[in-house]
Amino acid sequence: MNQYELTKIAGAVIAALLLIMGTKTFIDIQQAELRKHAKSAGYTLPAPKAISAGTGGAAATADAGGFSFAKVAEALPKANAENGKDIFKKCGSCHTVDKGGKTLQGPNMWGIIGRPKGSIAGFGYSEGLKGKGGDWTYEHLALFVNNPKGFVAGTKMQFAGLAAPAEVADLLAYIRTLADTPPPLPTK
């Protein structure tokens, strides 16, 4: 090897190191610039307010998004259980509806209206749901289906919720059919 070839090799190694180190330095400088502006960039979306941890009542009838059980109760007598059955297909991967059916990721829904919350033996309910207390009413189901994490803090249910009162009413009409004797509709 002569001096000329050694110089070419040394030059190639130095060029490669400069390229690698230069690129890294350039990226670091760009990221530092982005970090300066990141604190003021974008828009923070408003988060819905959590529904009170009580057993219901006026504080639990509406959330920040304007959902109101009164609208659901108004639509419930005219609700379509067949539409509710179609809506329930979203729930079918986690819940069964057969009388005496098994629990999947969620508990069986047969006879849920009037059943105590967190009462199916052997199912691993969240601490929030176990501590909620009371029976499942139309109102509590509507509020839970609308905003599960808002109604029960720490719930394990991974469902975003239904926003439209008419959809919630249709779903409740279907759930109402999941009993030997359908529970009476709520009175206003």
- Answer whether residue 22 is part of any domain: yes
Average of per-residue pLDDT across 160-165: 88
Q: Are 9 and 92 contained in the same domain? A: no
- Give the tens place of pLDDT for each residue, 112-143: 999 999 888 888 888 888 888 899 999 999 99
Q: Name the band, by pLDDT with cuts 50, 70 and 90, for residue 158.
A: confident
CATH number at residue 125: 1.10.760.10
CA angle 126, 128, 130 (to 5 degrees): 70
What confidence category does residue 49 fall into, taking pLDDT thresholds of 50, 70 and 90? low
CB contact burial 127-144 (16+ within 10 A = b; e otherwise): ebbeebeeebbbbbbbbb
> Do residue 62 and residue 38 come from a single domain?
no
Q: Same domain, yes or no, for 64 and 141? A: yes
Whether residue 77 is found in the same domain as residue 154: yes
Least reliable range by pLDDT among 52-56, 75-79, 99-103: 52-56
Same domain, yes or no: 83 and 118: yes
Please count the structural domains in the chain.
2
Residues 92 and 164 in one domain: yes
- Kindly state the tokens that stand for 92: 């079918």
Tell whether 37 and 62 lie within a shared domain. Answer: no
Q: What share of the chain is helix, strand, coil (3-state, %, to 5)?
A: 45, 0, 50
Q: Helix axis angle, 138-146 relative to 165-176, nearest 10°?
A: 130
* Residues 55-98 pLDDT 10s: 444 334 444 457 888 888 888 999 999 999 999 998 888 899 99
Kind and range of the H or E run holding 30 = helix 3-38
Query: Tokens in use for 93?
Result: 């991967």
Question: What is the predicted pLDDT for the residue at 52?
Answer: 44
Residue with tokens 């508990």: 107
Task: Tell me which of 57 and 176 has the higher pLDDT.
Answer: 176
Q: Which domain holds residue 23?
A: 1-42
157 shares a domain with 102: yes
Give yes or no: residues 74 and 148 share one domain.
yes
Q: Residue 20 and residue 24: Cα distance in Å, rounded?
A: 6
Give the pLDDT score at 1: 75
